[in-house]
Structure 1
Amino acid sequence: MKKLLLFGLSVVLATGCSSGDEKTKAVVSEPVYTLVFLDKTRSVDVNQAFVAGKYKQALSDIIDQNIRRKGDKLEIYYIHENTSKARALSFTARTEMEDVSSASPTDREAAQTEFELMLKREKATIRQRALQQLAEENEGASNQSTDIWASLPVITKASETGATVKVYYLSDMLESVKAKPGSEELRRDFEVQPPQSNAQADDWAMADKEQLKRYAIGNPDITMILPFAPNASAKQNNPAVTQYWETLFTELGAASIEER
């Protein structure tokens, strides 16, 4: 069976037999478009040792898992009063492996080693820049509101590229936006009035879906990475809040939702 090597791509080889002949099928994955939303509001303090440690490790893991080849993209947005306009970092991987389909086994191994070394360097660069964004403090007026809803048009735009979209919220997920005077749009302020039960959270999510379904977010994988220690009380880490988001994201089309 002839081996097919596609540089810079993830390849799955499946072999089958038909009339005594072997057939090889290659399934190539799409590039990964990673969106990271960093909470830059007063309710999340990244200077706390537990939060800093958890979020530094999370960013490192996200980069290691999702930056794999040329074309993989990572963007970081700040969550605050103006989330959809708060892109803090945009990075697209450029490392690619040379075409070694006709090379000797020794040259193939050397090319693979060089590719991995260059990709490692590229990951180190983006990791450093991402950690700088994590440490950046927001002392402006925008830290008074937490507009997570505003992340939806950002996800919609990413989904329109055709890439596999992975979304990470490094946030307490406490939506906190006051409705504008005269506006018919309902807003949530979980700092003032959080959901009191999973049933209420589901009801609110279903109601909010009606005004948010205009955003075609596709079917992204969504991960909520909360800043709470395992011994946090239900008052601090309200399970009904994450229940709200799980229901809302599911109704809007998310392929998977994970809480960490």
Structure 2
Amino acid sequence: MNRLIIICILTFWAVACSSEKDKPVRSEEPVYTLIFLDKTRSVNVNKSFVAQKYQQAITDIIEQNIRQKGDKLDVYFIHENTSKARALNLTVRSEMEDVSAASPTDREAAETEFNLSLTREKGQIRQRVLQQLMTQNDGASNQETDIWASLPVIARANETGATVKVYYLSDMIESVKGATRRDFQVTPPKDNAQADEWAKADARQLKRYTIGSPEITMILPFEPNAAVKENNPAVTQYWQTLLAELGAGNVAEE
């Protein structure tokens, strides 16, 4: 009787382990990275502080988000026609081969080959994004800053089902003429309370864009000792409130 119980237990354990082993390994969801580069007259990437900060930011973004085949990265320019200003559309091609049945030696070789391929691809992507960072916009489109127009871009990325991460390399000074728009160059919010009030009012008309719950980072071009007139904290407050109202999972400032 005891022998029969032991056999049953061993059989059950073997089946359970086999079943667990046969389950497919679930890969991480792809990441869809959106980088919005401010190409208006108020942001000068030729300044050494701005160039250094933004180049490092781009390096970090690529290192964190480019990890596997299927990860995507788009670059858009921020100006008067932001939603139509896609400058880059890249998809990662480096692929890790299936090593589930491989020997430890073959597994290590495959991982090494994948890492080398991914490192090369990251370098190529970085170079292309940096080229776009330094591209000058001397045309008439640099007169207005339409950050609202980034919202339909985020909404389209959200439709892919990927994990969406958004980065604004911008001073975030929305500046569009019109009765229903904001021009922070002319009339910025005077304090956080007014920023919250404006953001909540604007969110009501912008909720038509389903942006999901992306992670959003605003990387500002201001030096640490910048005056309030230049780096107005109420402007940042406006965007944090607006994007949160629209469903953003996390809104950070750097």
Q: TM-score, normalised by structure 1?
A: 0.89
> Which runs of structure 2 are paired with 1:98-137 in the superposition (5 Å)?
98-137=97-136
Instruction: Please state whether the residue corresponding to 1:64 is helix, strand or coil.
Output: helix
> Which runs of structure 2 are paired with 1:1-260 in the superposition (5 Å)?
28-179=27-178, 186-260=180-254
- Alpha-carbon shift at residue 28 of structure 1 (Å): 3.6
Deviations 1:152-174 (A, max 9, x none): 00000000000000000000000
Moved more, 248-257 or 98-107: 98-107
CA distance in 2, matches of 1:83, 1:137: 15
Unaligned residue ranges in structure 1 (runs of 5+)? 1-18, 180-184
Quote the sequence identity (%). Answer: 70
CA distance in 2, matches of 1:59, 1:178: 31
Moved more, 216-225 or 22-31: 22-31
Instruction: Please state whether the residue corresponding to 2:115 is helix, strand or coil.
Output: helix
- Alpha-carbon shift at residue 29 of structure 1 (Å): 2.4
Deviations 1:78-104 (A, max 9, x none): 000000000001100000011111111
Unaligned residue ranges in structure 2 (runs of 5+)? 1-11
Instruction: Please state whether the residue corresponding to 1:33 is helix, strand or coil.
Output: strand
Deviations 1:102-158 (A, max 9, x none): 111011001100000000000000100000000000000000000000000000000
CA distance in 1, matches of 2:188, 2:26: 45
- Alpha-carbon shift at residue 35 of structure 1 (Å): 0.2
CA distance in 1, matches of 2:72, 2:121: 12
CA distance in 2, matches of 1:168, 1:79: 12
CA distance in 2, matches of 1:255, 1:27: 24
CA distance in 1, matches of 2:100, 2:138: 54
Amino acid at match of 2:247: G
Amino acid at match of 1:188: R
Amino acid at match of 2:96: M
Amino acid at match of 2:153: V
Aligned residues: 237
Amino acid at match of 1:225: I
Amino acid at match of 2:97: E
Amino acid at match of 2:234: A
Moved more, 44-53 or 21-30: 21-30
Amino acid at match of 1:171: S
CA RMSD of aligned residues (A): 1.3
In proportion to residue count, which structure has more helix?
Answer: 2
Q: TM-score, normalised by structure 2?
A: 0.91
Higher radius of gyration, 1 or 2: 2
Amino acid at match of 2:174: E
- Alpha-carbon shift at residue 27 of structure 1 (Å): 5.1
